[in-house]
Amino acid sequence: MVSALILVSAVLILCVLGTKLADRSGLPSLILFIFIGMLAGSDGILGIEFEDYIATEKVCSIALIFIMFYGGFGTKWEAAKPVAKSAILLSSLGTIMTALLTAAFCHLVLKMEILTAFLAGSVVSSTDAASVFSILKSKKLSLKYNTDSLLEIESGSNDPFAYMLTTIALSMMASGSISPAGILIDILLQVGVGCAFGFLLAFASIWMLRKLRLPEGFGAVLIVAVALLSYSLTSAARGNGYLAAYITGIMLGNADISGRKQLVSFFSGLDSIMQILIFFLLGLVSSPHEIIRNAIPAIAIFLFMTVIARPVSVFLIMKPARATTMQMLTIAWAGLRGASAIVFAITAAVNPAYLNTDIVHIVFMIVIISIIVQGALLPAVSRKAKMIDETGNVMKTFSDYNDKDAIQFINFPVLPESPWRGKAIKDAVFPEGVIVASIERGDQTLLPRGNTVIQAGDTLILGMRDTTERHKANFDEFTIGRNHSWLGKSLKDIRTDALILLVTRDGKDFIPNGNTVFMKGDDVLTVSAQGK
């Protein structure tokens, strides 16, 4: 027990430290999680004998539920809405086209039996949310035309379709026949039930979170239960549980619920743990010598998918949407494969209809190459395609970012001839919509009050709407909930060391005055001196 805890702690610490190494080397951190698992495995330094595919499949499937859920929960629908149609088409039709094209290659070129080829194409057909999110966030990759939001929606929602294709392939293997009518019914049932349960559970949980006064921290417990229930209940009804988890996540993540931003941070941390768990376990269970033995078909499939299958699928779907050639090339290159593909391969390997672990090692090799090559080169490819949005902020595509809490700050030195010199803040005339956020006087940072006198040599930090720049003061954003001490009080009656800079109410921003009464749902931006 103690040894196991030490090992788990050491693995987590190594993975956390590995993220810093990955940032410096330019490699996605996820690949290091795999290598740490491989080093601990039977062919590695620790030599841990672990070849239990059944246990690995169960653990990874549960972890994948939370990764799928967070794929929706962390998505900011407001930013994604303009490209949602194209993203959903890519995640559904694009995934199916990629699977079929890859299956044709495996059958005609690699000479796989037709159902085996369809299975191989299915398990690797989706892009991986964890891999794509990791690249977008760590590299701060903001792309033109809302392409970053499109990739986020696509990668977060296409795993359910790859899983659906995988189960259909295994079902056909078990029956020994191909029934187009049966396939269509299975697709409609999985998608229909998955959507229905996803929406119903989301509505029910949102109602509970709003109506019940849960103790602090129990909201997260409830949502964890809802995430698990969305998968399990939907699967029991023969629906697509991963699709239900994703839909439930995206609705909860964008709902007006108390403490939403804190919940996103909690699930972001949980998602990171699940990613480490999956990639480490997959590395642990892998056999490097088997991966090398299956390297040739793996490399061939990777090249075909990267050069033909993925680009063809993207061009067929995005061209009618009038996407530019450079945008389509960037989207095609961003089709990273990841943990979900290996999990689905293990699902196939432990299924009585297949029982062949070669597919696991083939897919494992594809994922390693994809993360190293596509992941490491995605920033360079985006830059070469002139798709980098230098003025954008990729964090705006995630629901823990609120562009309403952003203020643009300007350093404005007060010269001796300035009309503001010698005047109190309340008597100085500033442009409409501009507020003095703080004053830098020598080595001090002052919070301005109405009677604060502006002196020559001061540097005024003037705030206005729009960016995340930070200066020598602490800025904080929070939402007024039903139990907040400010609820129903006017600004003049509130005692706080912070200066209230901005209030967002019903989508509209305004600078509050003494008579402003705080209401439930208000987003409040404050500034306080460092150390407060």
pLDDT of residue 495: 81
- Which of 74-88, 156-170, 353-367 has the least mean pLDDT? 74-88
The tokens describing 19, both together, are 């993220």
Question: For the chain, what is the total number of helices (H) and then of strands (E)?
Answer: 21, 8
The tokens describing 180, both together, are 């187009």
Please state whether the predicted TM-score (pTM) of the whole model is above 0.75: no
Q: Which residue has the higher pLDDT, 318 or 217?
A: 318
Contacts of 212 (CB under 8 A, 6+ apart): none
* 397 alpha carbon, distance to own chain's centre: 9
In the chain, % helix, strand, coil (3-state, to 5) comes to 60, 10, 30
What does the pLDDT look like over 234-254, one tens digit per residue? Answer: 999 988 999 999 999 989 888
Cα–Cα distances in angstroms (integers) from residue 24 to residues 18, 27, 416, in the given order: 10, 8, 46
Query: What is the C-alpha separation between 320 and 489, in angstroms, rounded?
Result: 53
What does the pLDDT look like over 173-198, one tens digit per residue? Answer: 888 776 777 778 888 888 899 999 99
pLDDT at 505 exceeding the cut of 80: yes
pLDDT at 259 exceeding the cut of 80: no
pLDDT of residue 116: 92
Mean pLDDT of the region 285-295: 84
pLDDT of residue 470: 43
What is the phi/psi pair of residue 178, to 5°?
A: -115, 115
What does the pLDDT look like over 462-490, one tens digit per residue? Answer: 877 654 444 445 666 778 877 788 899 98
Percent of the chain beyond pLDDT 70? 88
pLDDT of residue 441: 87
DSSP conformational letter for 517 = B
Q: Which residue has the higher pLDDT, 445 or 300?
A: 300
Contacts of 262 (CB under 8 A, 6+ apart): none
What does the pLDDT look like over 400-440, one tens digit per residue? Answer: 544 444 556 777 788 887 888 888 888 887 777 788 888 88
Contacts of 460 (CB under 8 A, 6+ apart): 411, 412, 413, 414, 420, 436, 439, 454
pLDDT at 271 exceeding the cut of 50: yes
Query: What is the C-alpha separation between 447 and 313, in angstroms, rounded?
Result: 55
Quick one: angle between helices 53-73 and 339-349, nearest 10?
Answer: 140
Range picked from 360-364, 394-398, 496-500 for highest mean pLDDT: 360-364
Q: Which amino acid type is present at position 12? A: L
**According to CATH, where is 1.20.1530.20 located in the chain?**
2-46+58-391
Mean pLDDT of the region 391-406: 55
pLDDT of residue 25: 60
pLDDT at 225 exceeding the cut of 90: yes
pLDDT at 397 exceeding the cut of 70: no
**According to CATH, where is 3.30.70.1450 located in the chain?**
403-528
What does the pLDDT look like over 79-98, one tens digit per residue? Answer: 777 888 898 999 999 999 99
pLDDT at 492 exceeding the cut of 50: yes
Regarding the domain delimited by 2-46+58-391, which CATH topology (the fold level of the hierarchy) does it fall under?
Answer: Na+/H+ antiporter like fold (1.20.1530)
Percent of the chain beyond pLDDT 90? 23
Contacts by residues 486-493 (CB-CB < 8 Å, ≥ 24 positions apart): 486/518, 486/524, 487/518, 487/519, 487/520, 488/517, 488/518, 488/519, 489/517, 489/518, 490/514, 490/515, 490/516, 490/517, 490/518, 491/515, 491/516, 491/517, 491/518
pLDDT of residue 430: 76
Query: What is the C-alpha separation between 298 and 289, in angstroms, rounded?
Result: 14
Regarding the domain delimited by 403-528, which CATH topology (the fold level of the hierarchy) does it fall under?
Answer: Alpha-Beta Plaits (3.30.70)
pLDDT band at 315 (very low <50, low <70, confident <90, very high): very high
3-state secondary structure 453-478: ECCCCCEEEEEEECCCCCCCCEEEEE
pLDDT band at 229 (very low <50, low <70, confident <90, very high): very high
Quick one: angle between helices 29-40 and 2-25, nearest 10?
Answer: 140
